[in-house]
Structure 1
Amino acid sequence: MPSTTPVAAGDRRHQLRDYLRTRRARLTPEDVGMAPGGRRRTPGLRREEVAVLAGVGVSWYTWLEQGRDINVSAEVLDSISRALRLNGPERSHLYILSGLNPPRGHEPGTATVTPELRNLIDGWMPRPAMLRDRYWNLLAVNDAARTVFGYGDTDHNCLISFFTNAMYRAMYVHWAAVAPEVVAAFRADAAEYLGDPGFDRVVEDLGAVSPEFTELWARHDVGEHVRVLKAIRHPEAGGMVFDKSTVTVADHPDWRLDLYSPKPGTGTEERMAWLMGASARP
């Protein structure tokens, strides 16, 4: 969260002044569909031209670019971003310098999993790996995750599978003890996107088929993702324990990549190798 101390605020305003000036200087009137307007003493757009393009007052924009201590809204910053042709990272930087939390990255459902990311997930083989979005929807799952954890073609959401996939539930050691933590973590994630109907849909869909989830959701418990170990008892391979590492995808901050590694000294690597070999045999 941007700092609000006097020194930090003054430094932000100083950087904001230079940032807006340099973004304005790199554009010409022709770039934004405006008439050239005669000779210019300095390159780029004039302040009044940016104000017109953004739909804000010239004096107000001048004060903003001068780094004065004025209130700004996300809507106005978005208008200025469009006027200055800012890309995603540049827009986020404008928010930060203006003292606001930057907007979320990609809107849900607008991005696809790149081949490079899929190669990473498949390259984690023979260890399990999966990619999920903000709603815990499964975007990509490698063959090891399907074989070891019992994910099938109908599994599309981690939370829903946790409560409704019978094979997964039967394998998960201490499932009943872990369930409250899982629901509390999902509620914490949902709280970061208040008003996002995608979370409501997951809750409604799962609540319609799982009284256990409904009871836990009604507690309103909130918690962090604290589980770094995953212990299962596979019906064919036996007990396995995995270290779990969760990585945020840099260009999709609401995506999480879950990578599982056999815990040393538990025999998991040998059992997993046998299981993956058995699944590959006809």
Structure 2
Amino acid sequence: MDISRLPAEARQRRRAEIRAFLRSRRARVTPAEVGMPAGGGRRTSGLRREEVAVLAGVGVSWYTWLEQGREINVSGEVLDAVARVLRLAPAERAHLYLLAGLNPPPADAGSDAGPDAGPDVGPGGVPDALRRVVDGWLPRPAYLIDRHWNFVAVNDAARAVFGYDAGDHNCLVSFFTRGSVAVSPCHWQDAARAIVGQFRADAARYPDDPWFGRLAVDMCAASPAFAELWAEHQVGSAAQGLKALRHDTAGELVFEYTTLPLPDLPGHRLMLYTPAPGSDTGDRLGRLMETFRPVTV
């Protein structure tokens, strides 16, 4: 990715993001954790820029320019050294690559390139066959979102389990502003932090798309909880995991989820949920679907 070819506004956002991200990661690593004496007169418990530079084997000026978001030459080897010093998780390391204008290593999941959809395309440019996959996942929940986290296709089980209705158009907005009183995550703070981290990682993949920045600003104004988590600069990406929630009708439900990127629809993700083994979620889900009345989303 050639950063110099980005619009001025996008370059400014990138500079602000990489500056805040690296500062936040320096602040959480103490000198003792990297074998350095704490010393006196420190204004922060974290590492100084000079210390990161020395430990990573790069020049102090170069690292300062990196943290300032200047358009400098970077390599994967040097970014890996910085990531190692700052103890970045894999998703955070990939995030740093993107902010620096490099593609993450091949191990990073997801694909943003692919051919256009085939001829059998329904509303929203989504292939009819894909919509049939979403509906065919019944009686288990499934939905499809685009790169902006807008709902593209939602099956009846997802509506019943997660409380989505005609007013839900965006996954992120719904989580923080339209949380159903009938449905709530069992570990809301952890779930919220994971969602915000994924959204920040997605925003870095599309630095020339101002939509992400606008939604982040709007969400900070609409949701204090989102604003607090957004300020943490967490990044993350989970292709699979567990989701537990409390449903006022079905009780506690625990699902395994799988996130599938779609090469033919760059940026789109298919979310598939399956009752967790060893739980009674399958039985609870069956009883819930027997009484659920489908609505149009």
Where on the TM-score scale, by shorter chain, does this alignment land: which range? 0.5 to 0.7
Q: Percent identity?
A: 49
1:245 to 2:243 alignment: no
**Cα displacement string for residues 42-101 of structure 1 (whole angstroms, at most 9, x for unaligned residues):** xxxxxxxxxxxxxxxxxxxxxxxxxxxxxxxxxxxxxxxxxxxxxxxxxxxxxxxxxx97
1:215 to 2:228 alignment: yes
Within 2, Cα distance between the matches of 1:131 and 1:236?
25
* Maintained 8 Å contact 2:140/2:158: yes
Flag structure 1 segments of 5+ consecutive residues without an equivalent. 2-99
1:146 to 2:159 alignment: yes
Distance 1:207 1:105, change over 3 A: farther
CA RMSD in angstroms comes to: 2.7
Displacement of 1:166 in angstroms is 2.6
Letter in 1 for 2:131: R
> Residue 63 of structure 1 aligns with which residue?
none
Higher relative contact order (Cα pairs below 8 Å, separated by 6+ residues): 2
* Maintained 8 Å contact 1:161/1:168: no
Displacement of 1:225 in angstroms is 2.1
- Please, which of 213, 224, 248 is the counterpart of residue 200 of structure 1? 213
> Residue 258 of structure 1 aligns with which residue?
271
Letter in 2 for 1:173: C
Displacement of 1:226 in angstroms is 6.2
Displacement of 1:207 in angstroms is 2.1
SS in 1 for 2:125: coil
SS in 2 for 1:171: strand
> Residue 28 of structure 1 aligns with which residue?
none
Within 2, Cα distance between the matches of 1:247 and 1:271?
26
- Please, which of 123, 126, 133 is the counterpart of residue 139 of structure 2? 126
**Cα displacement string for residues 205-261 of structure 1 (whole angstroms, at most 9, x for unaligned residues):** 322311111121122222222661110111011011101011111311311000001
Size of the aligned set, in residue pairs, is 181
TM-score normalised to the size of structure 1?
0.59
Displacement of 1:169 in angstroms is 8.4
Distance 1:272 1:169, change over 3 A: closer
TM-score normalised to the size of structure 2?
0.56
> Residue 34 of structure 1 aligns with which residue?
none
- Please, which of 98, 115, 129 is the counterpart of residue 116 of structure 1? 129
User: Which protein has the larger Cα radius of gyration, Structure 1 or Structure 2?
Assistant: 1
1:157 to 2:170 alignment: yes
* Maintained 8 Å contact 2:162/2:183: no
SS in 1 for 2:254: strand
